[in-house]
């Protein structure tokens, strides 16, 4: 849980599996690009740090967070990838639009993973302010892109073990 006194990106490096041999997609929303670029940078650095080769990473920018699920599903299925990480930033505005986009994005990403039987990680910040989004994309609360990249590696490794 993110709080004002909690750093999000603390993880035990020894618990992160080797990513060599996994083929992964990274899908990033263009909306709130200042935030999503920082999330993307953190995720890419983490995936490379843990052994994912450049030729096994498929980076795709999409217009907004709402479009992440469809793009992830299409990219993972057509390229035969092991999993995907969806990164976005939705900041509350003055209308209920925030609630609709957050709900649809979360359900879409979950359904994409369930439909494909592959890990599709939800790395979409849903914040009340841009300050909160900045704090969670490389600011005082760490970088959620790092956490989600670690989650992706753990899930693709788990799935590989389950499948034998």
The upper half-sphere exposure of residue 23, i.e. CA atoms within 13 Å in the direction of its Cβ, equals 10
Class of residue 127 by CB neighbours under 10 A (exposed 0-12, middle 13-18, buried 19+): buried
86 and 109 Cβ atoms separated by less than 8 Å? yes
Residue 6 catalytic?
no
Class of residue 10 by CB neighbours under 10 A (exposed 0-12, middle 13-18, buried 19+): exposed
Q: How far apart are CA 105 and CA 89, in angstroms?
A: 11
Q: Which of 6, 7, 11, 97 is catalytic?
A: 97
Q: In what side-by-side order are the strands of the sheet with 120-127?
A: 57-62, 24-29, 83-91, 120-127
Helices (H) and strands (E) in the chain, counts: 5, 6
What single DSSP character describes residue 66? G
Active site residues: 97
């Amino acid at each position: 849980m993110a709080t004002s006194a909690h750093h999000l990106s603390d993880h035990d490096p020894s618990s992160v599996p080797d990513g060599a041999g996994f083929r992964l997609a990274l899908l990033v929303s263009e909306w709130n690009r200042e935030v999503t670029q920082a999330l993307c940078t953190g995720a890419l650095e983490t995936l490379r740090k843990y052994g994912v080769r450049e030729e096994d990473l498929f980076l795709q920018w999409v217009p907004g967070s709402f479009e992440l699920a469809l793009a992830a599903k299409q990219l993972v299925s057509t390229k035969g990838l092991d999993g995907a990480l969806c990164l976005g930033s939705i900041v509350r505005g003055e209308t209920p639009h925030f609630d609709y986009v957050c709900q649809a994005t979360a359900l879409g990403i979950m359904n994409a993973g369930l439909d494909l039987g592959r890990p599709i990680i939800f790395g979409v910040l849903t914040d009340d302010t841009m300050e909160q989004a900045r704090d969670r994309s490389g600011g005082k609360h760490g970088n959620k892109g790092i956490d989600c990249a670690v989650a992706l590696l753990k899930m693709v490794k788990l799935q590989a073990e389950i499948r034998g």
